Amino acid sequence: MQQRKSALGRPSGTDGSDFSYRMVVDPRYTKVAQGKSRLYVLIVIQAVIQVIGVVCAFLSASDQEGPNNLAVSSITFGFISLIVGELGRRRSQVSFLRAYMLTSSIAAFLSVACVIRTGISLEVIQNQSAWATHKLELLESGRALLGVLLQIITISTTVSLICNMSPPKRAS
């Protein structure tokens, strides 16, 4: 049995003319791999935003009588959505990815509702001297805005991933 030697060059039996018989990866699978990696980055960014939300809720709860129920609900839905999204991404399960889109959208909606409920106004944002007294509300507003923008990107990425995961429709 002849052994391959890298110094001799090309292995015996291949002259380069067999390229037409080699398998080609369907572009759909490369799109799925790219979508999964992009979704992973988005999930990590959402996790960072959720941690900032936990810190804001903890600090505002220490300033007030108790925790804000909308903030706690938003954080709870956010962490549940992250777990479901990561499971759906790893296992390539469309049902988990759809549940991830729903729960993360609910979390973003609750976060915006929490900001609206606190009543941070445009006057406070424009008046830089009031930033020191309202810095927690400003941080929460920025987190909600960033969360909504990230949610739009996440939904488009997840929809694209789901479409590429689904088998192509065959013409009858």
- Beta-carbon contacts of residue 149 (< 8 Å; ≥ 6 apart): none
Residues in the chain where the model's pLDDT stays below 70: 1-24, 63-66, 120-134, 171-172
Pairwise CA distance, residues 25 & 33, whole Å: 12
Pairwise CA distance, residues 25 & 110, whole Å: 42
* pLDDT tens column, 42-79: 999 999 999 998 988 888 777 666 678 888 899 999 99
Q: What is the pTM of this model?
A: 0.77
**Measured CA distances, 129 to 44, 45, 97, 124, 126 (Å):** 34, 31, 44, 9, 9
Would you state the pLDDT for residue 11? Answer: 54
- Beta-carbon contacts of residue 59 (< 8 Å; ≥ 6 apart): 136
Would you state the pLDDT for residue 67? Answer: 73
Task: Please tell me the total number of residues recorded for the chain in this structure.
Answer: 172
